[in-house]
A and B are shown apart, each in its own frame.
Chain A
């Protein structure tokens, strides 16, 4: 072991990997973000973002691949998720599950997540172990080992875990069903794991990996207590010699048609209690709409005095739980509301209460006080989100996959804070219409 270690040190002096990195682009530090970053590309197309934060002896390494569920074809539901899990099953120099072991051994934490637009892998570990994280991530980018045994074992585990989750939380299945209604196209509506996963063959998986798990389809983001120059050398050392894959244009964005509202009254889905999902689709979005939507989310749903929570949980007392969130995807955004209550009558009354509040947004301007409250809360959450290395890394990677220019990120907060009451009324009138509304009720009648 000592011999091997010495060899690495010697190699580090003989080969200056940083010299082979060719930055194709370097952005100026964006002024209005609460942190700075640098961006460049390696010759193989890997996009690299570095951000220095010396507060604590920690570093987060995040690698995102444009390999989310949007890349799946019909009958392949679950392929992206399966491959995310196979990324922990070993590569040329790292045994099955050893990636986790290496990170945990030094006190690090790691995880991965598959969303429609990407598969994201990340680890946070002591900053003197940055090279370890890059070694691990580069090895599985370069030489993932996909074996029939690993496929079968991983697939079986995923199907069983999914079944167990559905069994222990009967409301869970309603979320998948709601997405199918809200996004009436297969590409956006299909679930993370579906029946197609059982039929996937090794060739499908290898093809998916070969096409999408390549440097020119990925973003590497490193945030933490790093020395930028040394980090660039390390990045070049571990990633520069990984060959690029084929170009993979982003899947064409679906075109939605506006039809009648889709209301499913008391589906036969098994559920633990009575409740409903209500959603609104927003498309095609105009410039400035995203900012209006973010403020509206806070006016409607964030905080005990927000309109919808106040209405159904405090004033009408028709619900026992209410939550909601924005789901923004290329070419469409949605607002999802989830409400639990106790019986069919209260479901109906809660829906009416929510719709009445939304109608008010169409009729009257939000007061300056209410707008100020929403803005301040948004700012607090914004800074909280960016308070950790991982928060910053995800913010940057999310922006890349959303197709945003990183140089525009600094202006986003100002855009949200400049939304006017008139803009909110205009937005509400344009989008909060029955044809954009989807409701799925569930539970005992």
Chain B
């Protein structure tokens, strides 16, 4: 239950007299000291909820296997052009973590004929820039451009993609930038916690490769980049997406004329099979001096996004910790006062996903907070959810969905994911209907299926909190900020 602060009227009474005087002076209809009845309760929503209508994604496949997808958004002044490669962090070789990201960042850094400086100037001369996002299973290069420069942007994208060449000078510059970015990220306890969680959940699995730190990228050579590029940057393994105020078929034709000459056999990539969920007690501790509070992650492997459990799990995740009204926040912060915040999240990859709890905990309450987190997860797995909780979670999911599509960037991100992972229509424009169909039984089944296994717990905090607050735990694996295991503490041993 939420703790309600007592309503004290000391300050209010003074304000009310002032307000009342103002009202009388204005001669308005409200008597002094009274309030209109409609203020007492929240208003009802408009009877008819407007439905989310997304523009259809038109998909074409060129003779060379390249997918071209377009979506028309007539109200948008900016067009988003994207190249999707169906290979991501998980495709970096085991001895070359970060290679997928470095390869993506090298696109646009030179061709057989043009220097990086020249290409950057070409791109920026049309008011655009290239951004790169590398996910577990796919990579996206994005160019946002005014619609009058779309043809030029398609030409540039073709040039830098098909004629890419990689040299040590540009790779050195990217290594330097990437090194400092990764170095800075290590200051963020949430990044460290997430990385450690993935590292443990995907031990021995290709997805673990995504948890690299800055020290490993110095080994990547132009030859590595070229090898990765030749293996995955092929038309049958790629898609070009265009969204904005466009004529879809005409744009698809233009893309075809530019990219039709791109040759290459299909790539041999297959999504890695999902690993088994963790089912043993495992607590990892990442030492970070000067942490103001303890960051706690607790999570496990779940299903991917294409199965029937996806939408029920969304509802489940929402009930557990989607907002400040959800179970975790109400328990750990509002009721017990152990945490500053506590939420739950989920992320889905090609063949599986991960759910996790993310909490900022007062260090002296680490152990009871961990118990409460485990208790909340266990309670969902063991028992039914309250119908009102389910309805509220569904209301949140349906209500918040349109926000994801509002900006050109948000829309394009969603479209890239949809195309890259080969998702069905349920993931495009039937989401609200799918959510509405989720009932208590489906939530219960999904909870039993995915929340019964014991989650891995990762704590990021100061070294001294280990001995001071965690002495009663049976075993704790202690890591440094690079993810290297330093030692394992067992109950009864000195910490």
A198-235 interface (Cβ within 8 A of B): 202, 206, 209-210, 225
- Return the chain B residue nearest A12 by Cβ: B38
- Known contacts A107-B401, A244-B22, A384-B408; decide if A128 and B50 are in contact (CB<8 Å): yes
| Interchain nearest-CB distance for B329 vs A (Å) | 10
Contact of B12 among A145, A164, A373 (CB under 8 A): A145
Say yes or no: B144 contacts A108, CB within 8 Å: no
Partner of A147, one of B10, B144, B292, B397: B10
Which residues of chain B are near A96, meaning CB under 8 Å?
Answer: 4-5
Report if B187 contacts A (CB, 8 A): yes
Q: Is B273 among interface residues, defined by CB-CB distance under 8 A?
A: no
Cross-interface CB contact of A380 among B146, B189, B396, B398, cutoff 8 Å: B146
Cβ contact within 8 Å between A168 and B187: yes
- Contact, CB under 8 Å: B12 / A109: no
Residues of chain A contacted by B49 (CB below 8 angstroms):
57, 126, 128
Cα A126 to Cα B39 in complex, Å, equals 21
B257 within 8 A of A: no
Residue of B nearest to A169 (CB): B187
How near does chain A come to B485, taking the closest CB pair, in angstroms? 24
Residue on B with the closest CB to A125? B399
Contact-residue bracket for chain B? 35 or more
Contact call B399/A241, Cβ cutoff below 8 A? no
Which A159-188 residues sit within 8 Å CB-CB of chain B? 163-164, 167-169
- Distance between Cα atoms of A101 and B322 in the complex (Å): 12
Contact B406 A388 (CB under 8 A): yes
Q: How far is the CB of B78 from chain A (nearest CB, A)?
A: 5
A71–B173 Cα distance when bound, in Å, is 47
B460 CB to nearest A CB, Å: 11
- Residues of A close to B180: CB separation below 8 A: 320-321, 340
Min distance, Cβ B359 to any Cβ of chain A, angstroms: 15
How many Å lie between the Cα of A268 and that of B146 in the bound state? Answer: 46
With both beta carbons as reference points, the residue of chain B lying nearest to A131 in the complex is identified as B43
List the B residue with the shortest CB-CB distance to A44: B26
Q: Which residue of A lies closest to B128 (CB)?
A: A380
Stretch at the interface among A75-83, A85-93, A326-334, A430-438: A85-93
Q: CB-CB contacts of B371-402 with A at 8 A, as 1s and 0s? A: 00000000000000000000010011111111
Question: Contact: A377 with B124, CB < 8 Å?
Answer: yes
Q: Total interface residues on A, using CB and 8 Å?
A: 96
Please, how many angstroms separate the alpha-carbon atoms of A314 and B9 in the complex?
A: 62
| B43 touching A135, Cβ below 8 Å | yes
Known A132-B42, A225-B50; contact A57-B402, beta-carbon cutoff 8 A: yes
- Measured CB to CB, the nearest residue on chain B to A372 is B125
CB pair A148–B5 under 8 Å, yes or no, is: no
Known: A243-B26, A305-B117. A8 touches B399 (CB 8 A): no
Q: Tell me if A256 is interfacial: C-beta within 8 Å of chain B.
A: no
Interface contact B127-A8, CB-CB below 8 Å: no
Per-residue 0/1 for B257-294: is the Cβ within 8 Å of any A Cβ (1 yes, 0 no)?
A: 00000000000000000000000000000000011110
Contact A132 B125 (CB under 8 A): no
Which residues of chain A from 310 to 324 have a CB within 8 Å of any chain B CB?
A: 314, 317, 320-321
Chain A residue numbers with a CB within 8 Å of B117 are 305, 314
**Chain B residues within 8 Å of A388, by CB:** 406-407
Given A168-B290, A384-B408: A304 touches B187 (CB 8 Å cut-off): no
A56-73 vs B, CB cutoff 8 Å, 1 = contact: the mask equals: 111000000000000000
Closest CB of chain B to A304's CB: distance in Å?
A: 5
For the complex of A and B, the 10 pairs showing the least CB-CB separation, nearest first, are A107-B399, A376-B127, A243-B22, A57-B50, A164-B292, A107-B400, A128-B46, A131-B43, A147-B8, A383-B77
13 more A-B contacts (CB under 8 A) besides A92-B39, A147-B8? Answer: A34-B77, A43-B26, A95-B5, A104-B323, A105-B395, A107-B400, A126-B45, A149-B6, A304-B129, A387-B76, A387-B407, A388-B406, A388-B407
- Can you list 10 A-B contacts (CB < 8 A)? A8-B38, A55-B406, A107-B395, A128-B45, A132-B43, A138-B39, A143-B16, A145-B8, A168-B189, A304-B124
